[in-house]
């Protein structure tokens, strides 16, 4: 059985019909529709020219027999079996190859035109499909007919004792018809789907070539029978093909209910998947909101660093994206790690945390425990374990002289290396109980000075690129935590404040 080109063209043109309203509103899609229209018109013109040239390059010796074969071909198309959704199967392809073998390009184009017309009347009723099917069908049939004519294998006088010419003609004609039609339909699929022409052909047609070659051999065999017995034999041999059509129809009808049931189940599964995915995203955002609420509570405790965590988290995301991090989970980890970097200070007494003067060495030793304490707090929660590694390493140095583990170079997680620069920048320009904040330019100069010792030089390069924008920010303005991080929204959209 031959798979009708309609099922592939349906995917391309029906998509266009269903979304035409959107394309009118969108300029890019309007251009796409224009390309489709030009391709359809071009294919129609090519087919029309081929149709006319076929009559100029050959003549008809047996019009009555040709008329019967064209009618049988059209009947096969009318009796094509509709599959479960958009596709159809028929044996009309054999009629086109047979007509091209017996009558050359004239027979091929007439049989192909009959398929396009009967397909329009009995199935699609879509003028765009009619124009395209007529164009690519008659073009392919004409090319096949001319090739067979040039090879000297056309005619109605085949001898059953020497059938080789008919079989060669069948294989060659079927291959040309298939390849010409396949690449033509692949072109329209490529335009509508955005895939490459080669990909569209490989995915939809390449695997069908052996199937159509076998059908070409069937057409060659029918040509030999016609040469011996005439048109009556062709009509008799058409009966098994029609019976096979009946068998296919019975099989399709009996399995249709199961296929439709599976399709409904698939739709339900897809719907459930979307709901679960949306719930997962809402749950993740709720987690983030909970973290932001906790950070707000910490800020209330330490009024001098109020807003520090949110500012640092925002800048860390900015630099992470500049360094090429695109994965959503990685960005979320950077955001959470930066946001929660000081959670370990919960275990630092107020006498140390809020001391209005410089800390003693003993007090600093106590303060340096907060990364490890923060790690232990966050690592208890499975979804926070990746962020906990950033918290543990956020005071490490590029040269290995940091704490608590004295990690060095690339052994320090990238999120911690990003955070370290953002944290230092914000700390320098912010007021502290024991000193006033400095200018952004002073912070910039200091970070460049310790690049390669305290900070990763490559991350410092990203900081240099971001600094002109950061310098223009109003550092004193109150920043609310982002319930939805900025990277989860449109690039220009502000974050939604946590409620």
Average pLDDT over residues 443-455: 94
| Torsions phi, psi for 90 (to 5 deg) | -155, 175
Specify the range with the lowest mean pLDDT, choosing from 162-171, 429-438, 480-489. Answer: 480-489
Yes or no: say if 172 and 220 are a contact pair by the CB < 8 Å rule: no
In this prediction, residue 284 has a pLDDT band, given cuts at 50, 70 and 90, of confident
Range of weakest confidence among 14-18, 83-87, 124-128:
14-18
Q: Tell me: the pLDDT tens digits for 365-386?
A: 888 899 999 999 888 888 889 9
Highest mean pLDDT among 3-12, 113-122, 353-362, 399-408 belongs to: 399-408
Q: What is the mean pLDDT of residues 52-63?
A: 84
Identify any residues that bridge with 432 across adjacent strands, giving them in sequence order.
435
pLDDT tens by residue, 28-44:
567 677 778 888 888 89
Q: Which residue has the higher pLDDT, 296 or 456?
A: 456
Beta-carbon contacts of residue 442 (< 8 Å; ≥ 6 apart):
428, 429
Mean pLDDT of the chain: 79
Identify the pLDDT of residue 323: 93
Question: Comparing 158 with 495, which gets the higher pLDDT?
Answer: 158
Chain segment 112-146, per-residue pLDDT in tens? 999 888 878 876 677 888 888 898 889 999 999 99
CA angle 68, 70, 74 (to 5 degrees): 115
Give yes or no for residue 110 having a pLDDT over 90.
yes
Which pair of structure tokens corresponds to residue 154? 């056309």
The pLDDT score that the predictor gives to residue 463 is 95
The residues near 155 (Cβ < 8 Å, ≥ 6 apart) are: 102
Q: Using the predicted structure, report yes or no on whether residue 18 has a pLDDT greater than 50.
A: no
Q: What percent of the chain has pLDDT over 70?
A: 78
469 or 431: which carries more pLDDT confidence? 469
What distance in Å separates the CA atoms of residue 334 and residue 337, rounded to the nearest whole number?
5
* Residue 197, both tokens: 């022409």
Give me the torsion for CA of 298, 302, 308, 309, rounded to 10°: -20
Q: Please give the domain boundaries of the chain with CATH numbers for all domains.
A: 2-229 (1.10.1760.20), 274-497 (1.10.3210.10)
Burial of 367 (0-12, 13-18, 19+ CB in 10 A): middle
β-strands 81-82, 88-90: how paired?
antiparallel
Residue 498 pLDDT class (50, 70, 90 cuts): very low
Give the global pTM: 0.47
């Amino acid at each position: 059985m031959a798979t009708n080109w309609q099922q592939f063209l349906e995917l391309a043109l029906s998509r266009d019909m269903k979304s035409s309203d959107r394309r009118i509103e969108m300029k890019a899609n309007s251009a796409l529709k224009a390309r489709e229209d030009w391709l359809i018109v071009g294919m129609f013109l090519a087919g029309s020219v081929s149709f006319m040239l076929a009559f100029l390059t050959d003549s008809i010796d047996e019009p009555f027999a040709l008329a019967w074969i064209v009618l049988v071909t059209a009947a096969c198309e009318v009796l094509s079996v509709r599959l479960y959704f958009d596709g159809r199967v028929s044996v009309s392809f054999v009629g086109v190859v047979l007509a091209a073998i017996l009558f050359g390009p004239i027979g091929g184009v007439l049989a192909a035109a009959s398929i396009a017309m009967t397909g329009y009347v009995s199935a699609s009723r879509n003028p765009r499909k009619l124009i395209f099917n007529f164009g690519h069908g008659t073009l392919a049939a004409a090319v096949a007919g001319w090739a067979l004519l040039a090879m000297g294998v056309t005619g109605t006088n085949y001898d059953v004792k020497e059938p080789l010419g008919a079989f060669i003609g069948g294989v060659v004609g079927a291959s040309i018809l298939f390849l010409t039609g396949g690449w033509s339909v692949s072109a329209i699929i490529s335009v509508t789907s955005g895939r490459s022409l080669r990909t569209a052909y490989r995915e939809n047609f390449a695997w069908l070539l052996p199937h159509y070659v076998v059908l070409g051999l069937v057409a060659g065999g029918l040509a030999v029978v016609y040469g011996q017995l005439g048109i009556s034999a062709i009509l008799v041999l058409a009966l098994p093909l029609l019976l096979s059509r009946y068998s296919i129809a019975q099989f399709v009808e009996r399995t249709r209910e199961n296929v439709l049931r599976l399709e409904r189940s698939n739709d339900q599964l897809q719907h459930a998947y979307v709901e679960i995915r949306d719930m997962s995203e809402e749950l993740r955002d709720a987690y983030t909101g909970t973290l932001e609420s906790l950070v707000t509570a910490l800020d209330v405790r330490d009024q001098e660093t109020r807003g520090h965590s949110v500012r640092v988290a925002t800048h860390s995301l900015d630099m992470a994206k500049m360094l090429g991090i695109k994965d959503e989970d990685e960005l979320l980890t950077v955001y959470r790690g930066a946001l929660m970097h000081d959670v370990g200070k919960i275990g630092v007494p107020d006498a140390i945390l809020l001391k209005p003067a410089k800390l003693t060495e003993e007090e600093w030793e106590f303060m340096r425990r907060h990364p490890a304490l923060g790690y232990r707090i966050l690592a208890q929660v499975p979804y926070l374990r990746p962020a906990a590694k950033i918290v543990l390493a956020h005071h490490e140095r590029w040269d290995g002289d940091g704490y608590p583990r004295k990690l060095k170079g690339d052994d320090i997680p990238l999120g911690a290396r990003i955070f370290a620069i953002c944290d230092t920048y914000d700390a320098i320009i912010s007021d502290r109980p024991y000193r006033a904040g400095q200018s952004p330019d002073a912070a910039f100069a200091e970070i460049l000075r310790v690049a390669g010792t305290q900070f990763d030089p490559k991350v410092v390069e990203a900081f240099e690129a971001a600094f002109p924008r950061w310098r223009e920010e109003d550092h004193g303005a109150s920043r609310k935590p982002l319930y939805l991080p900025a990277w989860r929204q449109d690039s220009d959209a502000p974050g939604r404040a946590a409620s």
